């Protein structure tokens, strides 16, 4: 692909990133699965309206809890792949950032306490 007068080998960058950072890719998939499970648990127990991620909340309202959260997590992994394909140099930082966001989301999902409305 040709972007800003530079040839960017998208497929080669993605394959190199998968090979070079396979542990981070594995951790990304594991944290995405845990985030999916914990998000599903709190959405079914507390409600969809508590979800902080606007995209996932909208998807869950319109597609249902399981398909909405699944599409949201899939988009996250797709974004990691797309950014890694665009820049092999920054793929590790991108993966670490997304894994960190997933870990924070898991922490929030597990510690979320439902609030009762004021009388």
What pLDDT score does 35 carry?
Answer: 93
Residue 69, in any domain of the structure: yes
Q: What is d(CA 30, CA 89) in angstroms, rounded to the nearest whole number?
A: 23
Residue 119, in any domain of the structure: no
Query: Alpha-carbon torsion 28, 31, 36, 42, what sign?
Result: negative
Q: pTM here?
A: 0.83
What pLDDT score does 36 carry?
Answer: 94
Structural domain of 56: 21-109
Residue 77, in any domain of the structure: yes
What pLDDT score does 116 carry?
Answer: 54
Question: What six digits make up the tokens of 38?
Answer: 């914990």
Q: Is the pLDDT of residue 113 over 70?
A: no
Q: Exposed/middle/buried for 8, CB within 10 Å: 0-12, 13-18, 19+?
A: middle
Residue 117, in any domain of the structure: no
Looking at the 3D structure of the chain, how many domains does it have? 1
The pLDDT tens digits of the residues spanning 42-82 come to 888 888 888 888 999 999 999 999 999 999 999 999 999 99
Residue 9, in any domain of the structure: no
SS3 content of the chain, % helix, strand, coil (to 5): 75, 5, 20
């Amino acid at each position: 692909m040709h972007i800003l007068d530079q040839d960017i080998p998208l497929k080669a960058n993605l394959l190199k990133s998968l090979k070079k950072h396979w542990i981070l890719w594995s951790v990304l998939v594991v944290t995405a699965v845990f985030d999916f499970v914990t998000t599903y648990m709190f959405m079914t127990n507390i409600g969809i309206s508590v979800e902080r991620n606007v995209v996932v909340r909208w998807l869950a309202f319109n597609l249902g809890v399981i398909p909405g959260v699944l599409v949201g997590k899939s988009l996250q992994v797709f974004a990691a792949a797309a950014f890694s394909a665009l820049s092999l140099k920054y793929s590790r930082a991108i993966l670490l950032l997304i894994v960190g966001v997933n870990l924070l989301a898991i922490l929030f999902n597990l510690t979320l306490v439902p609030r009762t409305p004021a009388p």
